[in-house]
Structures are given as C-alpha cells and as structure tokens.
Amino acid sequence: MTNTTTSISRMPNPGEFVPELKDISAALFRATGNQSVPRATMSLVHLRAGQIVGNTYLTILNTGFLRKAGESEERITAVSSWQDAPYFTEAERAALALVEAVLQPAPHGKERVSDELYAEAARHYDEKALATLTIAIGQINFFIALALIGKPQPVASLADEQWD
C-alpha cells in the first residue's frame, strides 16, 4: 500500500506572519512541562480533545506522542471510549472527564465543570498539578483554533512539516 500525502492546509504557517506565536507556544509548553502531571496524561487529554473536535491533525499528533512515549495501542485506541475502558487510572479518568466537560456543551441548566467533577480532579491532583492540568486544557484549546481554521498537515511529530 502506498502512502501518499496531499496538501490539505488552508493557510501557510501562521508563525511566519505572527512570529510571537513561537514564544506563546514555547511558554505554554514550559508551563505544562513542570512534571506535576505526567506527560502521558497530558497527551491523553490532548488526544481526547482532538477527538472531541474531530480534528485529524491533533489526533494524529497526540497519538504519535503517546506511541513515542511507549503507550500501548490499547490505551491509545481506547481514549475515545475511556469511560468503560479498563486501561486508565482514576487520575487519568478525572483528567479526561475534565477536558470533556470543558469542550462539550453542558446539559441544559448545568455547569460544564461541576463541583463534583472539580472535587474528583482535586482528589487526584495537588494544587500545582491541577493548575497545570487546567493550563494544559487551555493549551490544547489554543491549538484547536489553529488546527481547525488553518488545517495543518497531519503529522506524528512537531519536527515534521505541518504547513504548506
């Protein structure tokens, strides 16, 4: 089977026009790289976000990160159905529930992030880790806009060419 990639990007690299993007991106990665939340958890959360918004770029990129980190195919594949999958810790489940609450509409009259969900996350993450996880969810939301609007090439590594 031949793997051919056709250009699908809608725009050239936005960093060429807004060079501050590199600084923003680097700051977000520094803020979430403080090791208070395992990198695998961050990638699971980011993968789930990509799945929720239906974005191939984010889904392939975060799948690639998880594979490079040695995560099993079962765990990677089961992120989309994490609620009933036996592969995730309670802390990972709380993180996945948190990103879902942020990205999906709340039931009518309900908060997206309920006090119960916050308490569950706080049970698994100390204050620094919970702040870091919150920033990681904000980080993926920042990149969701670029991914959905700009439609970069799906890549498994940030070292690969993403923009036309």
Q: Give the CATH number, domain containing residue 114.
A: 1.20.1290.10
pLDDT by residue (tens digit) across 13-57?
A: 899 999 999 999 999 999 999 999 999 999 999 999 999 999 999
Given this model, what pLDDT does residue 4 score?
52
- Quote the pLDDT of residue 51: 98
Give the domain range for residue 122.
38-150
Q: Tell me, what's the pLDDT at 158?
A: 80
Quick check: is 7 in a domain?
Answer: no
pLDDT for res 43: 96
Question: What's this model's pTM, rounded to 2 decimal places?
Answer: 0.91
In the chain, pLDDT over 90 holds for what percent of residues?
Answer: 82
Q: What is the mean pLDDT of the chain?
A: 92
pLDDT for residue 103:
96
Which pLDDT belongs to residue 50? 97
- Domain assignment of residue 17, yes or no: no
Q: What is the tally of structural domains in the chain?
A: 1
* Residue 118 lies inside a defined structural domain of this protein: yes
Q: Does the residue 2 lie in any domain?
A: no
Structure confidence at residue 2 (pLDDT): 43
Regions of the chain short of the pLDDT cut 50: 1-3
The full 3-state SS of the chain, as one line of letters, equals CCCCCCCCCCCCCHHHCCCHHHHHHHHHHHHHCCCCCCHHHHHHHHHHHHHHCCCHHHHHHHHHHHHHCCCCHHHHHHHHHHHHCCCCCHHHHHHHHHHHHHHCCCCCCCCCCCHHHHHHHHHHCCHHHHHHHHHHHHHHHHHHHHHHHHCCCCCCCCCCCCCC
